[in-house]
A and B are shown apart, each in its own frame.
Chain A
């Protein structure tokens, strides 16, 4: 398990060298999107319309931040549960997205898309919203402002702490529960 400092957007080479269990401190530009924003991105794609950000190498952070207090760019900003974006993620990976950041398990389609398109799924610590907020230097709403917390924001992050959960080789870091130990199997 290695430790890397990387910059977003991610290059193909960066994404492909990562293995599950690696720690990554990510700097650069990433984009927020959760349930409602993903739905709108799909609508734009269906209508062949331009998207609010360049998908090439993009890192999408599944987060709905709390409102920014006076003097800070953003409020608390930890990950939301990722499975709700599973139905959208493969299409976005096919169009150039290199990574998503969230918490919790992905389904087989997402894991296959990571293999097929050379992407990764990063975990950030759920519920550590104040801690993660400290690594966000700038935040700007770039689309769907009416969605409030669910709007798409461009974030400038600095050494944002991540763990590779799923890599481009099909690896999965999450533990399989020991059902045998408690007589469930």
Chain B
């Protein structure tokens, strides 16, 4: 059995928190360039110009890309043959968040829901664990901002509503969100499972690279159809109009109860900050 010191996890998580908040993934930056070149509305091009310059400035100065450096969200795949020494894994991840958010001068945005008192160190983070075969530990980190998270929704459709019901709910949600979640957005869609599981699917789908293909050809076609429809809404970058309301749509599906059709729409802003590490 392989062993892993929890200090390694702490340092890896701290590093991801800092790095992800300064450097936007390459696929996101590439998508900005591609979408910008298709825009003819001057305001849309200007927003893309500012976002690109913002990436350059964050890299140069070490300032985070956005002041909202997010609630720290994690998807963890723990190999069942791996033994972790020292702290328990949840504590190790939270210690990594404490360290990264402090040393990286990142904003601490976690607070008590009633008193609104800040917890002071951006913990606790939201962690989804999965036990998998093997002896490695894979941790995906997402800095999830409040503005786009607030525009996300979950609903329980009737099975009879089918694809048309799903499609309308997603489009209606994006239309209502309008300029609020910092478009251009990425739309994560979770279909199936239960009331609690659909949003997990939607969030996890947001970890995929922009412009990749869904391995399921049927879902791939539906992602493309929805992306085209979302962009017909014409909201555009920052809600000022244009062709790019969404950069991409990512869908994940799981079987559900014969009586249900759970649907979650998790909206991600253009500052799609995530990173992963394998230990």
Q: How far is the CA of A35 from the CA of B109 in the complex (A)?
A: 13
Residue B3 at the A interface, CB < 8 A? no
Q: How far is the CA of A68 from the CA of B54 in the complex (A)?
A: 17
Q: Do the beta carbons of A179 and B233 come within 8 Å of each other?
A: yes
List A residues at the B interface (Cβ < 8 Å): 35-36, 63-69, 72, 75-78, 80-81, 83, 103-105, 123, 125-131, 133-134, 147-149, 161, 163, 173-175, 177-179, 181-184
Q: Do the beta carbons of A75 and B107 come within 8 Å of each other?
A: yes
Contact of A128 among B50, B106, B107 (CB under 8 A): B50
Residues on B with beta carbons closer than 8 Å to the beta carbon of A83: 180
Residues on A with beta carbons closer than 8 Å to the beta carbon of B69: 66, 76
Residues on B with beta carbons closer than 8 Å to the beta carbon of A75: 63-64, 67, 105, 107
Residue B11 at the A interface, CB < 8 A? no
Q: Do the beta carbons of A182 and B64 come within 8 Å of each other?
A: no
Q: How far is the CA of A125 from the CA of B69 in the complex (A)?
A: 16
Contact of A66 among B106, B172, B271 (CB under 8 A): B106
Q: How far is the CA of A134 from the CA of B63 in the complex (A)?
A: 10
Q: Do the beta carbons of A69 and B147 come within 8 Å of each other?
A: no
Residue B25 at the A interface, CB < 8 A? no
Given contacts A78-B68, A178-B232, 11 further A-B contacts (CB under 8 A): A66-B63, A69-B61, A69-B105, A72-B61, A76-B107, A103-B147, A105-B239, A127-B66, A179-B175, A184-B168, A184-B171
Q: How far is the CA of A151 from the CA of B57 in the complex (A)?
A: 25
Q: Do the beta carbons of A130 and B236 come within 8 Å of each other?
A: no
Residues on B with beta carbons closer than 8 Å to the beta carbon of A126: 66, 147, 182, 238, 269
Q: How far is the CA of A72 from the CA of B64 in the complex (A)?
A: 13
Residues on A with beta carbons closer than 8 Å to the beta carbon of B270: 127
